[in-house]
Structure 1
Amino acid sequence: MSKKLPLEGIKVLDLSRVLALPFATMILSDLGAQVIKVERPKIGDETRHWGPPFLKTESAYFLCTNRNKKSITVDISKKEGQKIIYDLASICDVFVENYKVGELKKYSLDYKKIQKINPTIVYCSLTGYGQNGPKSNLPGYDFIMQGESGLMSITGSPKGPPMKVGVAILDIVSGLYATIAILASLYKRQKIKQSEYIDLALYDCAVSSLANVASNYLVSSKIPKRYGNAHPNIVPYQTFKAKDKYFNLAVGNDEQFQKLASLLNTDALKQDKFKKNENRVRNRKELVKILQEVFKTQNAQYWVDLFQSHNLPAGHINNLKEVFEDKQLLARDMVKIINHPFGLLKIVGTPIKLSNSTITEPKSPPLLGQDTINVLKKLLHYNKSYIKHLKNQNVI
């Protein structure tokens, strides 16, 4: 049996910008979908300009989420630009956008209009706060949502200021939720030939990502505090300082703690008050102080090697140079080198590995509007004179 792309034949019309939904459509493209990225003429996706660093004129930020896509430039404020979107929507399976609530309605590109053109379209909207509610008119940014959702209130040192996560993690989480919702809607459409409107909010996705911390509050009504690199429910599960540098240790259950106590051979760890996790949580400060005194006697490499050799979860805190030189990462084919018009480009590969299907071999993120003419000719069958007219009118 020959391996096939899971989403082969699926077409995605992508009117999104920045990170969250471009991340989602990149995943869909990895799985074989054809993604047509619609950008503003001359300007494009704003992340094209978010640098340095740049590969000549293309920002590294843009390059990280736009592989495999086709880029066309269309002025959607013009009637003829809207017609291009209508024509593309009529032959696409998925429509993706992250404009402010109601903004696309001004251009007659809202769900109701697109659904009339394509009665089986899967239409995904991502906004800051969703399509309804008192904050629905406000813009959505990952950093703002990290604060509003409570994520920053539980991130950082107990004595320091609230901290955001070092990457736009809520954009990534929202992109993953969007991918899940789109795939579920496509699966449903195979059985019921009807459209689907997906209303996603960065805020909702952010709160959903709080997982056990949100559950802790809802069950106890106690406002969670910041634990730095420690865990609110499991001890010891945090960063420790070795003789030379920091490392991470994650003791997830009582059996693992007994193994740790045996390896360290320290009488203080064998006390009854440390045998059960609930007691270790109550006696966190005392236990961490005992462990820290032990760990500062050897280098981090010693402790990581010791614990890993006994199947105790421990690891280094790597910088990005160390990450991308890691033999494990290379063995998993997670670093790809592709040809870009401006030179060789290294990118992070997809983490999705399938046994009986293939994944799209990564193609260069597109230059702004590089596929406009080709898409209009081959997909929409526009003739040369009409395309020339669109160019002269600055529609494309």
Structure 2
Amino acid sequence: MLAGIRVIDFSRVLAGPYCTALLADLGAEVIKVEPPGGDDYRAIGPFADGESGLFRAMNRNKQSIVIDLKTEAGLALARSLCARADVVVENFRPGVADKLGIGYATLQADNPGLVYASVSGFGQTGPESHRPAYDIILQAMCGLMDATGAPDGPPTVLGEAVSDVVSGLFASWGILAALLARQRSGKGTHVDVSMFDATLGLSATLVARYAATGEAPRRVGNRHPSSAPFGAFRAADGFYVVAVLNNKLFQALAGAIGQPALAADPRFANDPARCAHEADLRACIEHWSATRTVAQVNRVLGAAGIPVAPIRNVRQALESELAAHRGLLAEVAGKHGSLARVPTQPVKFSGQHAAPLRPAPALGQDTDTILRALGLGPLQVQALRAGGALGPDTALAPHDKPELENHHA
């Protein structure tokens, strides 16, 4: 769907590369510009077959060229690439791209139709714009950690780098909107994506509750803050979840667990009452499920039309029949010729064929191809190499750098 769109990707680690991976999945040509040392994610575990699994996933379907932007010839080469591009993506701290010579004003002067996306922790302007951004910092500052965990427990970090991921998602959305606007006006724009903004945008119900009440949502553990029974419950061999949002479903649940009188109990007469007496209701439900397996609970409640599910781990989710049917993992060639699995983009389009899936590139593997497409001959390429514009002719060893505790934008 994005065939013919060329993206120059200066980003690294997670938020920016995830954005450009989504664009590449839809057929955009994504040229990943890496410094001589490569994207930091190349050195971050877990490793499989000598290759970072995180880098492999976030840089599928891309080409890689090494350019040393600190050399005059390297900067000129990067600007030449951007002059022929539709989109540029970067996730440096505000001001760094300008210092490197690839800021929006500079590149837009060369290419007025350029869509330029910047992903940063706190936006291109404002009192926090200078701060470094890691996912856990954003989860802490945006209220996600405070709203997650048991009521009597500490704030809890989510089990995914959601601030990074949602920032990449919003960046891809912003780029597509800007490309659509460019069709009408012929002009590009600067897409400013703040991880702070994006994380609060992700927190749609938390923000809505605060906007309506003026009070910060409280931690409620594995249950819904304003509905019951809606959460996780214990069975004989594990946990399951149910989601009951109305009286009809509650009546069906009461019958399914052999306690139809619960539907007439004043404590459980409606959703607010059930929520106020959630502990009593939980005791009734778990008294029934404590003698049954998770599988048995799901069969009984599912047959009664109750929204119910077992609590799976990621392996179980990805190895499920549903995930296989939806094609959520695909195989590509690994670093040494073995097959490796990478995630696919999750949106399906009728009448459209998915772009062929290609593995993440080795460091600088497409340099010569990209330079030939720019019209450079062998002698010109040789001169760039000799001058250091393309960095040294060595690939990044996977364990050259220590594993980072947190993910930078």
**Pick aligned residue for 1:354 from 349, 357, 376:** 349
Identity score, percent: 34
Q: Alignment partner of 2:58: what SS?
A: coil
Query: What is residue 248 of structure 2 aligned with on the other side?
Result: 255
| Paired residue type of 1:83 | A
Deviation at 1:352, TM superposition (A): 1.6
Matches within 5 A, 1:122-133: 122-133=115-126
Give the Cα separation in 1 of the matches to 2:275 and 2:251.
Answer: 15
Matched residue type, 1:321: R
Structure 1 CA distance for aligned equivalents of residues 95 and 319 of structure 2: 46
**C-alpha deviation, 1:61, in angstroms:** 1.0
Q: 2:50 touches 2:335 (CA, 8 Å); kept in 1?
A: no
Please give the alpha-carbon distance, in whole angstroms, between the structure 1 residues aligned to 2:86 and 2:292: 58
Match of 2:83 in 1: 90
- Specify the alignment match of 2:306 in structure 1: 312
Matched, 1:200 2:190: no
The one-letter code of the counterpart of 1:208 is: G
Give the stretch that moved more between structures: 109-118 or 220-229.
Answer: 220-229
Assess, with a 3 A threshold, how the Cα gap between structure 1 residues 304 and 28 changes in structure 2: closer, same or farther.
same
Residue 217 of structure 1: how far off its partner (Å): 1.7
Equivalent position to 2:377, from 348, 372, 383 = 383
d(CA) in 2 for partners of 1:223, 1:178: 27
Provide the C-alpha distance between the structure 2 equivalents of 1:335 and 1:137, rounded to a whole number of angstroms.
Answer: 37
Instruction: Specify the alignment match of 1:161 in structure 2.
Output: 154
Q: Displacement, 1:362?
A: 0.9
Counterpart amino acid of residue 375 in structure 1: I
Distance, in Å, in 1 between the alignment partners of 2:105 and 2:196 is 24
Q: Which residue of 2 aligns with 1:27?
A: 22
Q: 2:207 aligns with which of 214, 230, 240?
A: 214
Identify unmatched segments of 5+ residues in structure 1: 1-5
In angstroms, what is the RMSD of aligned CA positions? Answer: 1.3
Q: TM-score, normalised by structure 2?
A: 0.92
Q: 3-state DSSP class of the match of 1:12?
A: strand
Deviations 1:71-126 (A, max 9, x none): 11111122211111111111110000000010111122110001001000000001
Which string of whole-angstrom CA distances, capped at 9 and with x for unpartnered residues, describes residues 143-195 of structure 1?
11000101000111222221111110111111111111111111111111001
- Native 8 Å contact 1:269 1:287 kept in 2: no
Which of 284, 292, 295 does residue 298 from structure 1 map onto? 292
Q: Provide the C-alpha distance between the structure 2 equivalents of 1:229 and 1:362, rounded to a whole number of angstroms.
A: 38
Structure 1 residue identity aligned to 2:153: G
Cα deviations by residue, 1:248-300 (Å, 9 ceiling, x for unpaired) = 11113332222111212312343133131122122222222222222212111
* In structure 2, C-alpha distance between the alignment counterparts of 1:253 and 1:183, rounded to whole Å: 39
Q: Compare 327-336 and 367-376 and name the one that shifted more.
A: 327-336
Matches of 1:201 and 1:122 in 2, distance apart? 17
Counterpart of 1:371 (choices 361, 366, 372) is 366
Tell me: higher relative CO, structure 1 or 2? Use CA pairs within 8 A at least 6 residues apart: 2
Q: Say which SS state the counterpart of residue 146 (structure 2) adopts.
A: helix
| Alpha-carbon separation, structure 1, partners of 2:241 and 2:196 | 30
The aligned amino acid for 1:294 is W
**C-alpha distance after superposition, 1:317-365 (max 9, x if no partner):** 1123322321111111222111133221112222121111122121111
CA contact (8 A) 2:64 2:363 kept: yes
How many residues align structurally?
Answer: 388
Aligned to 1:272: 266
Whether the 8 Å contact between 2:267 and 2:274 is mirrored in structure 1 is yes
Measured against aligned partners, the alpha-carbon deviations of 1:364-388 in whole angstroms (never above 9, x if no partner) come to 110111001110112x111111211
The whole-number CA distance in structure 2 between the counterparts of 1:280 and 1:217 is: 22
8 A Cα contact 1:22 1:65, kept in partner: yes
2:384 corresponds to which letter in structure 1?
A: L
Native 8 Å contact 2:332 2:359 kept in 1 = yes
Kept in 2, the 8 Å contact 1:336–1:349? The answer is yes
TM-score computed with the length of structure 1 as normaliser: 0.95
Q: Contact 1:261–1:270 (CA<8 Å) still a contact in 2? A: no
Counterpart for residue 228 of structure 2: 235
Q: Which amino acid aligns with 1:370?
A: Q
Residue pair 1:258, 1:275 contacting (<8 A) in 2 also: no
